[in-house]
Structure 1
Amino acid sequence: MSSIRIFILGALADRGAMHGHQLRLLATEEHVSEWADITVGGLYGAIKRLAAESLIEELRVEQPGNYPKRQVWGITENGRRVLVSLQLNGLREVMFKPDPFDLALTRLDFDHLENLPAIVEARIATFQGMLADQEAQRASVARYLTVAERIAMAHRTERLKTEIDWHRQLAERVGDIIADERNRKAIVDD
C-alpha cells in the first residue's frame, strides 16, 4: 500500500490540477507526515512514477513571474480507477509491521546487557516525546480537520500510548531478562 500515491491522486481528484510545489504545500498544510507514512520530500519522485504509469498527466507548464517552470498535473481516468482501488485497499488492508527492536531484544549481546535498562528508558522517553508532539499537533490543527482526519490522528495517539505502556512493562522485566541471559550464558559455558 502506498500512502503517497493515495495522497497525490486524491489531491488531484479532489482539488483539481496542481504542480508539485502545490502538492508539497498541501502535504505540509495538512501535516500528512504526522499521521501517514508520507515524506514531503518524496512527492516529486512519486509524481514522476505516477506520470510514467499514466495515472497523472502533464496538463501545462506555468512560469509565473521569476519562478521556475512548473509542470501542472491532472489525474487521468485510469488514475481515478486506480485511486478508488487504492482507497478501498487502504481501508481493507491491515498493516502491522514487525519492530526490529523485538528481534534485537531476543538476540542481546552478553557483553552489553547492562545497557538494556537505559535503552528501554530512552525508548520510553522517545515515545513520550512523540506522544506529546502528536497531542500538541492535534490540538493546534483540530479545528481545521475533518472528522476522519481527527480520528486518524487519534489512532496514532492511541498507538503511541500502547507503545509506552508496553515499554513500561518491559522496563519492569529488564532485570529478569538480564538474569535469564546470564543464566543461559553460564549453561552454555559449562
Structure 2
Amino acid sequence: MNETRLFVLAALSRRGPMHGHQLRRDARLDRADLWSQVKPGSLYGALHRMADEGLIRPLRTEQQGALPARTIYEITDEGHRELRALRDEAFTEVDLRPDPVDLALAVSTDLDRELLRGYLEDRIAALRARGSRIEHQLDRRWPDQNIADDLIVEHARIRIQGEIDWHERVLADIDKLTAPR
C-alpha cells in the first residue's frame, strides 16, 4: 500500500488540478503526518513517477513573479482507477505490523533490568508526548475539518493509549522477564 500515491490521487480527485507545492501544503494542513506515512518531501518524486505511469498528467506550467515555475497536474482516468484500487486495498487489508520493540524484548533477558526499565520509561514518555500532540489536534480544529478527521484523530489516540498501557504492563512485569519459568 503506497500511502503517498493514495494521498496525491485523492487530493487531485477531490480538489482538482494542483502543483506540488499545493499538495505539500495540503499534506501539512491536513496533518497527514498524524494519520499516515505521507512525507511532504516525497510528494515531488511521487508526482514525477505517477506522471510517467499515466496516473496524472501535467496540465500547464505557471510562474508567479520570481517564484519558480510550477507544473499543475490533474488526475487521469487511469489515475481514478488506481485511486479506487488503492482505497479498496486500504480498506480491505488489515496490516498490523510487528513492532521491533517486541523482538528487542524477546532477546533482552540478559539486559540489565535498570537499563531495560530506562528504555521502557523513555518509550512511555515518547508515546505520551505523541499522545499529547494528538490530543491538542482535537483542540485546534482546521478550517475544513470534518467527522472523518475527528475519527482519524480518535483512532490515533486510542492506538497510542494501547501502546502506553502495554509498556506500563511490561514495566510492571519487568522482574518476571529474567526469572526462569
Q: Tell me how far apart the structure 1 counterparts of residues 143 and 59 of structure 2 sit (CA, whole Å).
A: 34
- Structure 1 counterpart of 2:84: 84
The within-5 A match list for 1:1-190 is 1-108=1-108, 110=110, 112-141=112-141, 144-180=144-180
Give, in angstroms, the shift of residue 6 of structure 1: 1.1
Q: Report if the CA contact (8 A) 2:54-2:76 is conserved.
A: yes
Higher helix share: 1
- Offset at residue 23 of structure 1 (A): 0.5
For residues 150 and 91 of structure 1, what CA distance do their matches in structure 2 show? 18
Task: Return the alpha-carbon distance in structure 1 between the equivalents of residues 153 and 127 of structure 2.
Answer: 16
Partner of 1:46: helix, strand, or coil?
A: helix
Name stretches of at least 5 consecutive residues in structure 1 with no aligned partner. 184-190
Distance (Å, rounded) in 1 between the aligned partners of 2:134 and 2:143: 15
TM-score with structure 1 setting the length: 0.90
SS at 2:72 equivalent: strand
- Write the letter of the residue equivalent to 2:26: L
Structure-2 separation of matches of 1:143 and 1:63: 27
- Percentage of matched positions with identical amino acids: 36
Deviation string, structure 1 residues 72-130 (Cα, Å, up to 9, x no partner): 10101100111011111111111100001101111127254431011111111111111
1:58 counterpart SS class: strand
Cα pair 2:109 2:178 within 8 Å, conserved: no
Work out the CA distance in 2 between the residues paired with 1:131 and 1:143. Answer: 22
- Contact 1:142 1:150 (C-alpha < 8 Å) held by counterparts: no
Does the 8 A contact of 1:16 with 1:74 survive in 2?
A: yes
- Structure 1's consecutive aligned runs of 4 or more residues displaced over 4 angstroms after TM superposition are none
Task: Provide the secondary structure at the position in 1 that maps to 2:57.
Answer: strand
Amino acid corresponding to residue 167 of structure 1 in structure 2: H
The 3-state SS of whatever aligns with 1:74 is: strand
Normalization by structure 2: what TM-score? 0.94
Tell me the secondary structure at the aligned position of residue 59 of structure 1.
strand
